[in-house]
Structure 1
Amino acid sequence: MKFLIASFDGLRPDLISSELTPNIARVQELGVTLGRHTTVYPSETRAAFPSLVTGSAPVRHGMVGNKFVDRKSIPERYIDTSDAVLLDQLNRESGGHLMTAPTLGELLAASGKSLAVLATNTPGTTRLFHHKAEDFGHIRLSGHFPEACTPADVLAQIEVEFGKLPPAPATGQPDFSGQEWITSVFLDYVWPRLSPDVAVLSYGEPDTTSHFHGTGSSTTREIIAYCDAQFGRVLEWWEAEGQSAGVQLMLSSDHGHITAHTRVSVMDDLRMAGFAPGRAPDPDVDIVVVPGQVGALYLRDRAAAQVARLVEAMMDQPWCGPIFTAPRNEVEGIAPGSFASRLVLCDHDRAPDVYFAFRADDGIDQFGLAGGTFYDNDRVAGLGVHGGLHAKELAAVGIVAGSHFRGGGSVSTIPSGICDLAPTILHGLRLAVPSTMTGRVLREALASATQDNFEPHVEAENFEAGLGSFRQSLRRNVIGGTIYLEGGAAANDATATRKLEAAE
């Protein structure tokens, strides 16, 4: 038995259709659609894909966001995980502990099995799929960036046969060439010559195009259709050859998108509140504001009183959604009115002093898609963003097909998540699932599923916290200890909070 994970970065499940994505829809007809499939918080690519390959949430693997502050370095430094060379440096400096949970590639290698990665994401994301591929002689190929590729001799041979790596597209332009290149290399080189036990084929779109053109725009729909057509070549191979060779299909995305509607400046508002914010550690900076749609604030003075002062100032802002700080107990954070960061499984020592999601709503955008939010970047309103706790940001594609899984086009209504893919793969390969994994085996989707598997006990959890007129809520589902985030909301009065909850 072998596994192929085909991922589509940033694809909302509600954009899958027989018209726009006929090949993905075809897999839905053949297998099981995971109808309540979600990602992790932060709902960012380089927190989510490490969760896929470690089977664990950021609390275990330590990739706490696309960007973070490394407090262990002297002096402290700002880390952008899109940089594959920097990630390699960090891994070597840490003695191989860039990620603080074992990855699928490491676990497979320990059992004499292989993982191959082909991706058109950023070079850093590509490396994070299998950051120790060099140690095992495994294949990791980027559709554009040689610094993310290994082994060098394999890349050289592939470039002789398939041409040089295509250049990355201009900023904001859809990536067509990379998707075709990784598809061709998988079909005509990686599979026939190497036949890896597990392969990841990661299409880096429609994420980038959504960020620059809007989630439901014609340009974004065009690249979605193109990625689906490239995957269609894989599906044709799978139905003709791969399926009979025991290859199981897993289709995924790392998060969804919602639409940015109101631009704000967190730094300006914190400065008005009496703080000295900056983008990187500096003697004149008392709060590092990590740029991005995930609110991540690192304080120079980490005393509980200073954290509380910061959180209270944020609660007055119209852009502030759910807030998380270090745990005071199982539910409450050390700052009054905040949630404990362990509620969203991101209580890692790399985590910021304050996480927050931008306040979101269920407004309908110009493309007819639900989900809108405040945002803090230099782009115009109307474009796609992600990172927070709106249900459409958390919703991820989850489809499985093959002899290991039930067929017939069924839809599972059992909560599932991105952390469940790795343990399900290990189970299928008859390998042990390590205790570091926070995900579970998707037994309800297996061909061997029993009636008990179809109806596991699902415990719905609802949490509330607040201070003064600020109120926030968080919804989770739990199956046998595995936690799935369903959504979070915040408002400056209880009535508005209830309205947000009802809308979601």
Structure 2
Amino acid sequence: MHFVIVSFDGLRPDLISPELTPNLCRLQSLGITLSKHRTIYPSETRSAFPSLVTGTTASSHGMVGNQYVDRSVTPPRFIDTSDAVLLRKLDVESGGRLMSVPTLGEILARAGRNLAVLATNTAGTTRFFHHKAEDFGHVRLSGHFREACTPEDVLAEAEALVCPLPPEPPDFQPDTAGQDWITSVFLDLIWPKYQPDVTILSYGEPDSTSHFHGTGSEVTRGIIAHCDRQFGRMLDWWEAEGRAGGVQIIAVSDHGHITGHTRASVIDSLREAGFRPGRAPAAYVDVVVVPGQVGALNLMEPTERHVARLVATITEQPWCGPVFTRARNEVDGIGPGSLGNHLVFGDHARAPDVSFSFRADDGVDPFGLGGGTFYDNDRRNGLGVHGGLHPKEISAVGIAAGTAFPAAGSISAVPSGICDFAPTVLHLLEIGRPYTMSGRVLHEVLWDPERANAAINHESLEAKLGRFRQVLRRVHVGDATYVESGAAES
């Protein structure tokens, strides 16, 4: 049995349609759609994809955001995980503990199996799919970045057979060449010659185009259709050859997008309240504001009193959504008005002292898509953002087809999440899963009725401070817990 996991970075499930994505719809007709599938919090790429390959949340694997402040060293340092070379350096420096738990590539290698990666995401994201590939001689190819590619002889084969590695396009230009390249390399080289036990093929779109053109724009819909056509080539191969060869095919996304409608400045708000904020640790900075759509605030002196003051300050702002700090008890955080960060699985040692989502709503954008939010970046309003707890950010694609998923054309209404794929793959390969995996085996889509009847329970948790009130909604399926949404109001 083999697996091909195909990812569409940032694709909202409600953008799948016969007109826009006929090939994803074809996969739905051949397999099972996970209709209540979700990503993790923060709903950022370089937190979510580590969850895909570790089968657990950021509280365990340690990738607490696209960027984070590393306070394990003196002085603290700012880490941008888009840098593949830096990630390799950090892994070596830490004795192989860049991620705090074993990854799918490591587990497969120890079992004598292999994982191949082909991706057009950032160099850092590509490395995260299998950050130790070079240690095991496994294939990891980027559609753009040589520094993320290994082994060199396989890259040379790919370039000779298909074409030279395409350059990364400008931010505002949809990436078509990269998607074409990784698809051709898989179909013409990686599968025919190497037949990996598990392959991750990750289209880095429509995420980038959504950020620069808007989630429902004509340009973004165009790149979604282009990625779907490339996926159609994969699906043609699978129907003609792969399925009969025991290949299971899984389509996923790492998060959705909502639309930024009102620009805010967290740094300006904190400065006006008497803090000395900055974007990186420095002698004159008392709180580091990590950039991104999910707020991460790191105090240089994270005492309970300073945390409480910081929470009180941000919860007075119109842009502030749900807020989390380290736990005081089973529900509350140490900052009055906050919830414990363990409730969103954000309590790793690298976690910020205060994390928050920007306040979101269910307003409809000019493209007819629901979900809007405050945001903090230098782009115009009307563009796609993600990272927070709006249901459209948390919602993700999940479709599976093959002999292991027998109910073709069906829909599963059982809640599931991005952490569930790795344990399910290992279960089907008859490889033991490590205790570190908090995700569950998706027995309900494996037609395993004796093990598919886990109880489903919903819960709402809230915290208040003055006029500020927030509500976090979660759902439990057996021992697994999924974050459904979070919202705040004044």
TM-score range (shorter-chain normalised) is: over 0.9
DSSP 3-state at the match of 2:444: helix
Is 1:21 the counterpart of 2:21 in the alignment?
yes
Paired residue type of 2:330: E
Query: What SS does the aligned partner of 2:413 have?
Result: strand
String of CA shifts for 1:216-252, please: whole Å, max 9, x gaps. Answer: 0000000000000000000000000000010001100
- What is the identity, as a one-letter code, of the residue corresponding to 2:489? A
Give distance in 2, aligned partners of 1:54 and 1:408.
Answer: 28
Equivalent residue number for residue 137 of structure 2: 137
2:108 is equivalent to residue 114 of structure 1: no
Q: Does 1:379 align with 2:379?
A: yes
Alignment partner of 1:271 is 2:271: yes
In the alignment, which residue of structure 1 is the partner of 2:449? Answer: 450
Sequence identity, in percent? Answer: 65
Please give the alpha-carbon distance, in whole angstroms, between the structure 2 residues aligned to 1:397 and 1:410: 15
In the TM superposition, 1:97-496 aligns within 5 A as 97-446=97-446, 448-450=447-449, 453=452, 455-492=453-490
Amino acid at match of 1:186: F
TM superposition shift of 1:407: 2.6
Q: Which amino acid aligns with 1:71?
A: R
**TM-superposed deviation, 1:449:** 2.0
Q: In structure 2, what is the Cα distance between the partners aligned to 1:304 and 1:36?
A: 37
Shift of 1:72: 1.1
Residue 133 of structure 2 aligns with an amino acid whose one-letter code is A
Counterpart CA distance in 2 for 1:278 and 1:262 is 22
**Retained in 1: the 8 A contact 2:401–2:408?**
no
Cα distance, 1:159 vs. partner? 1.4
One-letter identity of the residue aligned with 1:112: G
Q: For residue 409 of structure 1, what is the amino acid of its counterpart? A: G
1:74 offset after TM fit, Å?
2.3
Residue deviations 1:412-434 (CA, integer Å, cap 9, x gap): 11000000000000001001111
Match of 1:495 in 2: none
Length-normalised TM-score, structure 1:
0.96
C-alpha distance after superposition, 1:109-134 (max 9, x if no partner):
00000000000000000000000001
Q: In structure 2, what is the Cα distance between the partners aligned to 1:161 and 1:452? A: 46
5+ residue gaps, structure 1, are 493-504
The residue type paired with residue 423 of structure 2 is: P
How large is the RMSD of aligned CA atoms in angstroms? 0.7
TM superposition shift of 1:157:
2.1
Mapped to 1, the partners of 2:308 and 2:170 lie a distance apart of 43
Unaligned runs of 5+ in 2: none
| Greater mean deviation of Cα atoms: 160-169 or 7-16 | 160-169
SS across alignment from 1:46: helix
The SS at the match of 1:414 is: coil
Shift of 1:158: 1.6
CA contact (8 A) 2:46 2:63 kept: yes
Shift of 1:172: 1.7
CA distance in 2, matches of 1:302, 1:9: 35
Cα shift at 1:154: 1.3
Supply the AA of the counterpart residue of 1:330. E
Q: Deviations over 1:15-50 (max 9, x none)?
A: 001110000000101110000000000000000000
Aligned residue pairs: how many? 490
> Displacement of 1:56 after TM fit?
0.4
Runs of 4+ in 1 over 6 A off after TM superposition: none
SS at match of 1:49: helix
Find the counterpart in structure 2 of residue 68 from structure 1: 68
Alignment-mate amino acid for residue 353 of structure 1: D
Shift of 1:153: 1.5
Give the CA deviation at 1:452. 5.9
Structure 1: distance between partners of 2:113 and 2:23? 29
Question: 2 CA distance for matches of 1:68 and 1:22?
Answer: 38
How far the C-alpha of 1:146 sits from its partner, in A, is 0.2
What is aligned with 2:93? 93
Partner in structure 1 of residue 56 of structure 2 = 56
Q: What CA distance in whole angstroms lies between the structure 2 residues aligned with 1:58 and 1:218? A: 34
